[in-house]
Amino acid sequence: MRQRRFPIVTTIVLVLTGVAELLQWTVKGWGPGLERDPDGLTWSHWWRLFSPLLTQMASPGVSGTAQFVSNMVFLAVIGIGAESVLGPRWWLVGYVVGGVVGQATGYWLEPPGGGNSVAILGVAALFAMAVVLGEPAPSVSLMFVAYFLAAITLFSLTNWIVAVAVVVIGAWLYQFARGRWPRRADLALIGVTVLAAAVLIAAGDHHGWAFAAGMTLTPLYRLSRQRRARTRDRDDRTLDLVT
């Protein structure tokens, strides 16, 4: 049985993100100084590839405060569940890879701007792929992965009313199906999430690329998982011989 661990990485990232948002509210020029700026991204200012993760700049039609609150909620719910499955190291790998790829494609597709939603999606993608590989996962955290992608996709293509309606109906259907066919319901939910990411990529939204980047980590995560399993088996055999 998996031992419950305190979500240390999720907690640290939540605190850092909150402090950065506080600085954006109180320090003049903090947000614009860290957001995606194609003219400011040079070899000597490579840090601008990461710095947009520390500023929650408003997306079109969304206030900066609303974006911050939304990202913090999804970071907490997805992050805690993902860290319990992936462990802190793979959680951090997903966050960094999703964040860098998301901001890099953001420079290409959607400058200027900022936010850590792309990093959260990197974690979410690897978390979802771990479930596909057979890892047990908290249903609420997995459901929020689909919420996040669906909300971004529907908000980008339609409006917030449609996004909320679809998310609510989808959540009810998922909970209904999971009570009868847990594995199938989880896989169907992940399938919808991957489809939403593909739609975002086709629509030129950098969030889709961030999710895809997290998915590309799956083979490496699988190798690490197999190595851990072999190590546990070897340790169990050694313990049996000793006892």
Q: What are phi and psi of 150, to 5 degrees?
A: -65, -45
**C-alpha closest to that of 190 among 124, 135, 146:** 146
Range of the domain at 199: 8-29+57-242
* Helix, strand, coil percent values for the chain (each to nearest 5): 80, 0, 20
Does 84 map to a domain? yes
Confidence label for 41 from pLDDT (cuts 50, 70 and 90): confident
Does 3 map to a domain? no
Whether the pTM exceeds 0.75: the reply is yes
pLDDT digits 0-9 by tens, 197-235: 999 999 999 999 999 999 999 999 999 988 887 877 666
Does 202 map to a domain? yes
pLDDT digits 0-9 by tens, 53-109: 988 865 554 556 778 888 999 999 999 999 999 999 999 999 999 999 999 999 988
Provide the pLDDT for residue 221: 95
Q: How far is CA 212 from CA 15, 109, 110, 126, 217, in A?
A: 26, 16, 17, 9, 9
pLDDT digits 0-9 by tens, 104-153: 999 988 878 888 999 999 999 999 999 999 998 888 999 999 999 988 89
Does 201 map to a domain? yes
Does 39 map to a domain? no
**C-alpha closest to that of 111 among 38, 209, 58:** 38
The C-alpha angle with vertex 137 and arms to 169 and 76, in degrees rounded to 5, equals 75
Tally of domains in the chain: 1
Strand-pair partners of 113: 36
Q: Is the pLDDT of residue 28 over 80?
A: yes
Does 47 map to a domain? no
